[in-house]
A and B are shown apart, each in its own frame.
Chain A
């Protein structure tokens, strides 16, 4: 038992909590001290406390990694998230698989940002760091794992809890020193590089919403109502980029690996980060306007506060267990809901109280804004973004509403909309149109002073170009749905008008073109989303013509396709054929067919029964022993067009009883114009004994042909063998092995059944099975007089797999648009950061 490292970690959790409170207190003292000397002194104390806090956070991170990397399974965290076979990068990933680790990740980023703040914001250090330290204190309390003695209340859930304290297994009564040999392992579905990079990105995005909030609060507190915007802006821009990137990474991960069917499902967990991001984008826009024209200060303050509160609200939603039945992938409840609620309410209350108290003194422009001003367009855009977020937030909060009115004894049975995707899409689509039109037009006002006539001449060319492009797309894409027609036009207009602006701006100064580039990215994303979602088509339609359940009507049994091994079917203009079950190689890249290997006692090692060739390259020779990943089975699906193999897909299934059975990951055939997305939806159960039928007997001589289940077969040779696996042969026993060649669809197979005579009279038969063909062959008898051999055959249902395939057109436009958006954000951030430094 390694008690030290756990105690070490837990101690530093407490240290991090205490130091963050000390830092907040010291900075508070410094802030309120009137004497310059005292101010400086307290500031130094605060700084020291925050540095200590940072060191403590690093120590906690170190301790948790140490436990995971050294496989200390006496700790609950290592036992339930790691295992001996886990690779290094996934041991990093299991750090943040659970709530405690992800709180820690969040704390880590904010500690880093806090240190940067100390070094860059000397003048505002005290008030900004008070906010930072308080937020850190709340986060540290979540992983504190301390029981308050007086009220018997458990504060936080510690990641350093011992397994014996976490589980009440009887083994610990017998042997408290018991340590499991191996851990539970990281959910194999999460063993993916996205699990390594998506959470840190997302939590960095979360953390980056803190600096603008802290500046805003500090500004209000000090009655410096406008000075906070300049330093807050670059942070907000980085935050917008990173949080957006984190969200889209999650979407891409879901698309590529998790078989949720698409990149976005309007699940409450997804919505919970989407809403703060929209409001963050709105806040960036109003802050930019303030920077340029001095208006929209109040809006900047409200939106900045809203972003941070929404981040806390989203944390509450996903971690308190309140979503319960409503979400498929929220965290499990750790009993922190009370603490999370206090965290949310604390910052909501102080920021709103502060804003309210200062409201009258916040300067605002009395001048009515003109429709020809950029302020008007930006304000309009920000309003649409906020409404867009509101529309998502409202239904997502239904479980909270139910709980809330439940407190007053009213029972509410309100449930989220039954078809979430349809429900959200029908609103968000029109918001998308509004965003496109406003940001397409707004760009013209951003750069130039406009009036009616000038606007007409400026808009003429982009509108005409958009219309031509739009007509082309409509004609080629055969779009008839009126809503999609409008969205296409709006998206094209957004791209064209911003290209126009980009062309003008680049000639003046390329460094300020970030905004135009970002908007082009948004336009591309809108077009990509429209086509990939609106025109996504299930191509695995069941064309067997069978209606299997008459009561259900015609739409039953239509989305999935049953493929028998080596039996081609047509789908989406391709001839597709299920070829084999495969395992992934561990030390080389590629797959190996399960029929070409035999297992060993080590589940991670197998022996080849023939040369292993993958993509024309020989990877292993027959009888080689090599490493594989046992958890995943890959179904080789060949897609051919005109007899030529266009792609071989390997959608994946994980059979993992410990983690909940059957988990599918798709494989994607990527074309320029569209993706074909294939996933396995059902497989055969190999644990049941197969049902052998149609027994037949053949009397054949060497070299004679016969037919098994319509396959041409030849008895090639029969010879005596000295060794038979699993049977001990003594002096007078006889063992004979037949070699029968069966011509399969693609290649010949060899069956080698064995016939035995033991103790001179007992006859034994060891049949051979050809998995690929669903055939069992036995050597039943030998007639030495006629030189004839009796062969017995039986067949079973062939191997099969059920797949679902979806075609998603133009999805690459979405991904490219995302990258363009990120480039735009990057350029804008660099520019605003330089502004702020000068």
Chain B
């Protein structure tokens, strides 16, 4: 067999390996019920849940609880199925958090509590704020 054929085979094998590994490591977007089911069936992979912060009638965010030591906080996230869930986060509140339209939490259930390892925020564009100062 020619050496170039061996290389070609190795390259193809590597590419397939990468595809399989990516598919295996890829996370999924789920809602809280699905995440809970996954966790209770022993699946501890981290998942993405997309939701919005819980707000009262006046549009204020409710359910926000800073940790007593100011080093962590918890909040209530409402997923696409309107299920509410308290999410714990092991970091101080990120910038822009209260202004975000959508919050993506990456993490999973631990002992029936949802713990986020990472939070992604989708904010109304920072650069094109539609509020005009007219004075």
Contact = CB atoms under 8 A, between A and B. Distances in A.
Interface string B108-132: 0011010101101111011111101
Contacts of B25: 395, 417, 423
A191 to B, nearest CB: 13
A548 B134 contact: no
A658 B14 CA distance: 48
Given A548-B67, A552-B88, A332 B128 contact: yes
Given A369-B4, A658-B129, A664-B95, A324 B122 contact: yes
Given A325-B122, A548-B67, A557-B71, A418 B92 contact: no
Given A415-B47, A661-B95, A663-B95, A560 B71 contact: yes
Contacts of A413: 28-30
A117 interface: no
Contact of A325 (B4, B30, B102): B102
B127 A98 contact: yes
Interface in A347-376: 368-371, 376
B7 A383 contact: yes
B95 to A, nearest CB: 4
A404 interface: no
A182 B133 contact: yes
Contacts of B22: 391, 394-395, 417
Interface size bracket, B side: 35 or more
A169 interface: yes
Interface size bracket, A side: 35 or more
Contact of B133 (A97, A180, A369, A552): A180
Contacts of A169: 130, 132, 134
Given A332-B128, A659-B126, A681-B91, A557 B69 contact: yes
B43 interface: no
Nearest to B31: A413
A392 to B, nearest CB: 10
B12 to A, nearest CB: 10
A703 to B, nearest CB: 41
A634 B128 CA distance: 27
Contact of A553 (B71, B110, B126): B110
A681 B102 CA distance: 22
Contacts of A542: 69, 71
A659 B117 CA distance: 25
B120 A328 contact: yes
A167 interface: yes
A558 B67 CA distance: 13
Contacts of B96: 660-662
B123 to A, nearest CB: 6
A427 B21 contact: yes
A559 B118 contact: no
Contacts of B107: 418
A551 interface: yes
A742 interface: no
Nearest to B108: A418
24 contacts: A98-B127, A169-B134, A325-B102, A325-B122, A368-B2, A371-B3, A379-B7, A390-B15, A390-B18, A413-B28, A415-B26, A416-B27, A417-B27, A546-B69, A551-B113, A552-B88, A557-B71, A559-B90, A559-B91, A661-B99, A662-B94, A664-B95, A681-B92, A802-B71
Given A167-B132, A325-B104, 6 more contacts: A169-B130, A418-B118, A419-B118, A423-B25, A661-B97, A800-B70
Interface of A: 80-81, 97-98, 167, 169, 171, 178, 180-182, 184, 187, 324-326, 328, 332, 368-371, 376, 379-380, 383, 387, 390-391, 394-395, 398, 413-419, 423, 427, 542, 544, 546, 548-549, 551-553, 555-560, 562, 658-664, 681-682, 800, 802
